[in-house]
Amino acid sequence: MKIALIGYGKMGKAIEEIALSKGHEIVLKIHIDNTEAFTTEAIKNADVAIEFTSPETAAENIVKCIDAGVPVVSGSTGWLGQWNKVADFIQEKNGAFLYSSNYSVGVNLFFELNKYLAALMEPYNEYNVSLEEIHHTQKKDAPSGTAITLAEQVSQSIQSKKHWVNQPSENKEDLVILSERIDPAPGTHKIKYQSEIDDIEIIHTAHNRKGFAGGAVLAAEFLLGKTGIFTMKDVLFGEK
């Protein structure tokens, strides 16, 4: 498989290492210092693009790849305010796109655990639920996309939590997400249910970027030859 890496920072380099170890070829590497190389002709040399950039550029990058007829796996967060516009374009072009806020297989299993636990806890109003997340200081968005996904999953089951906030709050309807940025920290996410009697917690802690990078390559392998919009749930559990 020929892969274009749109974004060649720490994550892009980790993806490259795993892709090469699996016999794939990197045909394009786009980073902040060579954006002029990000041309339609160059993209078309790839079978699939893996896009890990910034909230400011992600949507434009995805559209550019789809317009060139190349499937896209994206792990950029903070751009989902443009989701509908991008999704409409993908469908119009009959393209292939896979998005996840986190490509780690462990995190995606954690997502399923989070949904199950929230459904179990919903009848027990004596427990207040909150989230914590820790990432490295170079992470540009807060809360993380993974934390937002976890919070939205909780809110779907815990009806008393109307919305999430990224600060301490005494409002019972607020689902609090507390964010920390410290080095080194590939990523930790904790969901805590707290009562006067006891606490129940589930925690996922990443030890390095290999889990995220490996999942992104797995997603690219899955996406090849498909059309439509997918998630890591499709990759891991065969939903489509």
Burial class, 68, CB count within 10 angstroms (exposed 0-12 / middle 13-18 / buried 19+): buried
Find the catalytic residue in 139, 161, 189, 204. 139
Contact 182, 41 (CB under 8 A): no
**How would you class 154 by CB atoms within 10 Å of its CB: exposed for 0-12, middle for 13-18, buried for 19 or more?**
buried
135 is catalytic: yes
Residue with tokens 């993908």: 90
Give start and end residues of each alpha helix (H) in 178-228.
210-223
The answer to whether residues 127 and 193 touch, using CB atoms and an 8 Å cutoff, is: yes
Give yes or no: 210 in active site: no
Which is the catalytic residue, given 10, 44, 64, 135?
135
φ, ψ for residue 208 (rounded to 5)? -165, -175
Determine contact, residues 72/66, Cβ cutoff 8 Å: yes
117 Cβ contact partners less than 8 Å away, ≥ 6 residues apart: 191, 193, 200, 202
Token pair belonging to 189? 């996410």
Q: Using CA atoms, how far apart are residues 144 and 77, in angstroms rounded to an integer?
A: 8
Q: Please, what is the end-to-end C-alpha distance for the chain in angstroms?
A: 22
Catalytic residue numbers, as ranges = 135, 139
